[in-house]
């Protein structure tokens, strides 16, 4: 079962967009931060990453609106149904950086889903790759789920008052 709305959490998804620079290039992440409080992480101990090359990246490595729609269609019509049929999973979100769009899932068992994604990639107009890493505590996705750091105002120690 895959869920864009994390039914195991019991509340609506909270989609957050975060942007930063990595090696001088924009990195955009769209993540369901409702997973911050997800308590059943042990049931989905594998991080599944589906990497899709952007065909026509901009100078900063992102895709234009038309290609963004094509990537969303690929996600919706090919990748999500494939992952859903092959495993129990949670869709965490998507990142785009340096000419690549990456879909991030947590899955129960990657064996069948990796085979199914490989078969789907061979039949698709868009070539994509997938890989899984054991991550029972969700440490690999935690950087996307963490709340943004609070801005701290520096105060000299002697300037209290």
Q: Is residue 56 in some structural domain?
A: yes
Closest CA to 28 of 85, 101, 81: 101
Task: Assign residue 43 the CATH number of its domain.
Answer: 3.30.70
Q: What's the CA gap between 119 and 131, in Å, rounded?
A: 14
pTM: 0.83
Per residue in 93-106, pLDDT (tens digit) is: 999 999 999 999 99
User: Which DSSP category does 10 fall into?
Assistant: T
Q: Is residue 149 in some structural domain?
A: no
Per residue in 57-73, pLDDT (tens digit) is: 988 889 999 999 999 99
Q: Is residue 111 in some structural domain?
A: yes
> How confident is residue 154, by pLDDT bands cut at 50, 70 and 90?
low
Range of the structural domain that residue 21 is part of = 15-138
Q: Is residue 77 in some structural domain?
A: yes
Average confidence (pLDDT) over 34-41 = 91
| Contact yes or no for 95/29 (Cβ under 8 A) | yes
């Amino acid at each position: 079962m895959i869920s864009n709305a994390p039914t195991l959490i019991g509340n609506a998804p909270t989609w957050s967009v975060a942007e930063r620079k990595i090696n001088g290039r924009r990195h955009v992440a769209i993540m369901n931060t409702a997973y911050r409080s997800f308590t059943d992480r042990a049931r989905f101990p594998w991080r599944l990453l589906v990497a899709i090359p952007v065909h026509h990246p901009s100078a900063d490595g992102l895709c234009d609106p038309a290609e963004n729609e094509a990537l969303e269609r690929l996600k919706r019509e090919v990748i999500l149904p494939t992952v859903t049929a092959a495993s129990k999973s949670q869709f965490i979100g998507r990142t785009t950086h340096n000419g690549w769009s990456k879909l991030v899932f947590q899955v129960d068992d990657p064996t069948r889903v990796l085979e199914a994604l490989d078969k789907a990639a061979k039949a698709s107009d868009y070539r994509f790759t997938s890989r899984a890493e054991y991550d029972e505590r969700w440490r690999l996705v935690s950087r996307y789920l963490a709340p943004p750091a609070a801005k701290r105002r520096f105060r000299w120690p002697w300037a209290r008052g």
